[in-house]
């Protein structure tokens, strides 16, 4: 029992991550199932000038490992930055879910027929079969990539690890480009994700929302109770 208590105290910060993960996946699955028609088409003229380049499916899929690795690293190594990263990611992902629920959206950018037959186009085709061209705005691939990179460059853990910081930047940029080159997102989705990330960066890292919340809670605890 004592070992269980110690384990809980050591890793209880996983609870918000688990709860939110369940809520997000359930909500997103519902959106994917129910957003089948009558949705707003997202398109910009710039989309028509971006060529389809299937090799970018590699960084697109690396997004899953990239964001997960950043969260897991800070979970074990830096609890403060873990919370900041979670606040950043969860806020943007929740806004995305709300937008997708209230303003169903989609795109018609995907090629009807693959221009070539190779391992990369087959990977893209498999992605298309499992991921509908709906619920795109703003791009969570873009937003979370920026969030993961911000977490790395703002952490003292990587302050002197230039290679990791540069590698993170290259990977984040590659993922962002991938969203457009494999026709998963419109330029509009990418730009709005940048705007949302800029706002959250200011709140989480410049204003330090985590400290602000803690100070507010401490003031409420210290406030004398009347009666």
78 Cβ contact list (under 8 Å, min separation 6)? 155, 156, 157
What integer pLDDT is reported at residue 6 of this predicted model?
Answer: 87
Instruction: Note the pTM of the prediction, 2 decimals.
Output: 0.90
Summary mean pLDDT of the chain: 92
pLDDT tens per residue across span 87-133 = 999 999 999 999 999 999 999 999 999 999 999 999 999 999 999 99
Three-state SS for 40? strand
pLDDT tens per residue across span 139-195 = 999 999 999 999 999 999 999 999 999 999 999 999 999 999 999 999 999 999 999
What integer pLDDT is reported at residue 215 of this predicted model?
Answer: 63
Query: Rounded mean pLDDT of 17-38?
Result: 92
Tokens of 40: 């707003």
What integer pLDDT is reported at residue 227 of this predicted model?
Answer: 45
Q: Three-class SS string for 87-133?
A: HHHHHHHHHHHHHHHHCCEECCCCCCCCCCCCHHHHHHHHHHHHCCC
What integer pLDDT is reported at residue 220 of this predicted model?
Answer: 62
> Could you give the C-alpha distances from 156 to 11, 144, 153, 171, in angstroms and in order?
22, 20, 8, 20
């Amino acid at each position: 029992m004592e070992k269980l208590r110690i384990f809980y105290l050591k890793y209880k910060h996983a609870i918000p991550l688990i709860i939110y993960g369940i809520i997000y996946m359930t909500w997103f699955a519902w959106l994917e199932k129910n957003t089948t028609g009558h949705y707003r088409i997202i398109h910009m003229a710039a989309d028509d000038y971006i060529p389809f380049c299937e090799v970018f499916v590699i960084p697109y899929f690396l997004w899953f490992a990239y964001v997960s690795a950043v969260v897991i690293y800070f979970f074990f190594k830096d609890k403060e930055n873990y919370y900041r990263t979670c606040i950043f990611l969860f806020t943007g992902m929740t806004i995305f879910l709300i937008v997708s629920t209230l303003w169903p959206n989609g795109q018609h950018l995907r090629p009807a027929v693959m221009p070539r037959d190779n391992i990369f186009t087959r990977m893209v085709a498999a992605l298309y079969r499992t991921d509908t061209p709906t619920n795109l705005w703003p791009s969570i691939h873009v937003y979370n990539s920026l969030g993961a990179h911000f977490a790395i460059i703002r952490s003292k853990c990587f302050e002197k690890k230039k290679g990791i910081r540069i590698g993170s930047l290259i990977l984040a940029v590659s993922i962002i480009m991938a969203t457009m080159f494999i026709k998963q997102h419109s330029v509009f989705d990418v730009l709005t994700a940048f705007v949302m990330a800029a706002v959250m960066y200011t709140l989480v890292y410049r204003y330090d929302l985590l400290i602000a919340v803690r100070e507010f809670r401490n003031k409420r605890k210290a406030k004398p109770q009347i009666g």
